[in-house]
Homo-oligomer: A and B are copies of this chain.
């Protein structure tokens, strides 16, 4: 299968490596999976050493009694006349629940119709491996490549706490001119896309505690306050009926996009009916009256990632639950201060603590703010040229609604210009059951890398 001049076939040796990498149950957010994360990091060490890198694994300090997954740091000296490239990726993956919805085993790669189904097949094991394969292709063919530094972490999906803390101590080790990241999506139809901006992300858990135990809803109904009802009221208060955010001060400082940015973004706006088909419901998230592109690229969100209280099993259990939690994440745009946005939400919640309840805000992960990059930088011009050679349609600029918070951190520490080009598609169902990545996507990510390292 050849499309746009890219070979999609994958050598058996590469496929074997890819499938090995996917087999590790490296759910970085789950402390019980620490051994799997360590094993995955050790796999990467061996692979990078085999490609000529000197590698060290950093086991971040034990915190709150729990060790963090190792950070893989690697460097391979190259052509000193070229720009130093820092490659960032992550080997941790999202949890796999709901497990029952997987059609194949979540950590056993299954090849079906040109796609590989497995947690991490794309995000970010697949994409980062494909990208580093492209670099190895250059090295194996004797093409002069720049000095390359690699940093792979195991906590991206849960906030990159360890790397965020470690990075400022590694200014020398991480310094580079280009920060290359392959952890995003191409435009529709696999048209190349350069990420010109990312939203920030920050998350936390709110907990309401009421009665000291689950109570009989008859014996105590009308007496005891109900945390399940209360958390619903508290969460409902975060948004206005038109879908806008109801938290005072949350939007402070937002820098609206420029005319050029807005125009470039709207020019690649997805077709609303295609989005409806993709997500299976009306795309009516966010504030009414704004376009999909505005709502996803240039507006912040407050999302409830989970809400849990009381009984949820088979049949009925007529209780007044003793507590309730909601897991909240915020997507932030340039100009918003992470701490400021968080504080505004906490203030909002504390002003509205339901009667009889205690509120606690837990597991705050500050993450990072959003950023936008200038469209006319030299590295963007180079990338655009390479991508036009690969695909006559040329690349589009994207302001992704998603976040790679650690990119903000690495950008600051390394002083490098982010070059974020990925080959995901919504069909890959990352973060959902049945995640997958096609051999064609893998081949394009690898080819992009090969051409980039050859051209620098």
**Do the beta carbons of B318 and A231 come within 8 Å of each other?**
no
**Do the beta carbons of B321 and A216 come within 8 Å of each other?**
no
**Do the beta carbons of A355 and B225 come within 8 Å of each other?**
no
Kindly state whether residue A310 has any CB partner on chain B within 8 Å. yes
**Do the beta carbons of B304 and A221 come within 8 Å of each other?**
no
**Do the beta carbons of B285 and A226 come within 8 Å of each other?**
yes
Among the 9-residue stretches A1-9, A75-83, A260-268, A276-284, the one with 4 or more Cβ atoms under 8 Å from chain B is A276-284
Chain B residues near A452 (CB-CB < 8 A): none
Chain B residues near A28 (CB-CB < 8 A): 315
**Do the beta carbons of B313 and A30 come within 8 Å of each other?**
yes
Q: Name the one of B212, B238, B312, B365 contacting A229, with C-beta atoms under 8 angstroms.
A: B238
How many copies the complex holds: the figure is 2
Among the 9-residue stretches A111-119, A129-137, A424-432, the one with 4 or more Cβ atoms under 8 Å from chain B is A424-432
For A276, give the chain B residue with the smallest CB separation. Answer: B356
**Do the beta carbons of A312 and B306 come within 8 Å of each other?**
yes
- Given the complex of chains A and B, what is the CA–CA distance between A327 and B317 in angstroms? 9
Query: Can you list the 3 inter-chain pairs with the closest CB atoms, starting with the nearest?
Result: A212-B280, A218-B402, A29-B315
Q: Name the one of B30, B282, B304, B431 contacting A214, with C-beta atoms under 8 angstroms.
A: B431
**Do the beta carbons of A217 and B307 come within 8 Å of each other?**
no
**Do the beta carbons of B318 and A285 come within 8 Å of each other?**
no
Kindly state whether residue A164 has any CB partner on chain B within 8 Å. no
Q: Name the one of B220, B311, B327 contacting A279, with C-beta atoms under 8 angstroms.
A: B220
**Do the beta carbons of A401 and B304 come within 8 Å of each other?**
no
Kindly state whether residue A210 has any CB partner on chain B within 8 Å. yes
The contact string, 1 if C-beta is below 8 Å from chain B, for chain A 30-48, is 1100000000000000000
**Do the beta carbons of A281 and B327 come within 8 Å of each other?**
no
Kindly state whether residue A243 has any CB partner on chain B within 8 Å. yes
Contact A305 to B319, CB < 8 A, known contacts A295-B222, A296-B223: yes
- Given the complex of chains A and B, what is the CA–CA distance between A439 and B431 in angstroms? 53
Q: Name the one of B101, B314, B402 contacting A31, with C-beta atoms under 8 angstroms.
A: B314
